[in-house]
Amino acid sequence: MATITAAMVKDLRETTGVGMMDCKQALAENQGDMQAAIDWLRKKGLSKAAKKAGRVAAEGLIGAHTAGLKGVLVEVNSETDFVARNEQFQGLVKMVAQVALKVGADIEKIKAAKVGSVTVETAIADAIATIGENMTLRRAASLEVTKGVVSSYVHNAVIEGAGKMGVIVALESTGEADELAHLGRQLAMHVAAANPQALDPAGLDPTIVKREKEVLADKYRQQGKPENVIEKIVESGLKTYYKEVCLLEQAFIHDNAKSVAQAVKEAEGKIGAAVKITGFVRYALGEGIEKQESDFAAEVAAASGRK
């Protein structure tokens, strides 16, 4: 039996764009013959995935899945919004989220995990071949508590647990489970709407805080304010900034007369114990992906030979 080296698997993956485990199997099935392995992948339909790998996939769905003390978010992208309405794709996203809940948020571990007789990576490649669009498992996140609950909220859900935006919030508490879950969902909805950048000021990136201070200071220097006054104004301005971007200091969307911290404190009465928000994650579909803009009229003109 031919020896299959890591270098051979790497070369086949770079040539075809097919997943590592499938490349290894292709080489093993064909005694290390590179061309035969390529043909084997083509016959399996996996090479169709490679042909589409260069396309920008910025649509798709966010999947959320929780079970008691743990919750996950995943983002699976496709090229068009139309695919997000495809039942096979929807099932794929739910399956990926369920796997992530078991194996964690590491993308490579999720891809390598088995679902029945195939890996998640193979299942994605099969969906690409069947549906005809590039798809990618872009990212995943998980939260877990030792006592309490992880709650979720999916905005613009197309099916239960999958939509255009997803949020998970982790609450640590020994209190009444149903009341805690209710608060968790309210907080997840708040995070979806208010998009906080951190739990509290200590969680903000120091470079962002520094830039905010510099912007405020320069603004008042240009107005001719003295430095000792500027310092006080900047501190006041930062407090306002924290109320905009820090979860605990934001006005609660369900009752904007109180902050999120105040709302949590008030809810502790019904819950029957102290509540601590230990983390949150918010995924909006396609954020940070540079989408390709196309001029449809120009494409039609080019196809017909006109300029």
Residues 6+ apart with CB under 8 A from 240: none
Integer Cα distance of 244 and 253 in angstroms: 12
pLDDT of residue 295: 47
pLDDT of residue 43: 65
pLDDT along the chain (307 residues), means of 10: 84 76 88 84 61 60 95 94 90 97 96 93 91 90 98 94 97 96 97 96 92 85 87 90 95 96 97 98 85 48 47
Tokens of 109: 């571990």
Model pTM greater than 0.85?
no
Give percent helix, percent strand, percent coil of the chain, each to the nearest 5: 50, 20, 25
> CA-CA distances (angstroms) from residue 56 to 79, 119, 290, 292?
6, 23, 8, 7
Asked whether the beta carbons of 249 and 256 are under 8 A apart, the reply is: no
Structural domains present in the chain? 6-51 (1.10.8.10), 59-200+247-284 (3.30.479.20), 205-245 (1.10.286)
Integer Cα distance of 170 and 149 in angstroms: 6
Asked whether the beta carbons of 162 and 64 are under 8 A apart, the reply is: yes
| Cβ neighbourhood burial of 258 (10 Å; 0-12, 13-18, 19+) | middle
pLDDT of residue 303: 45
pLDDT of residue 304: 45
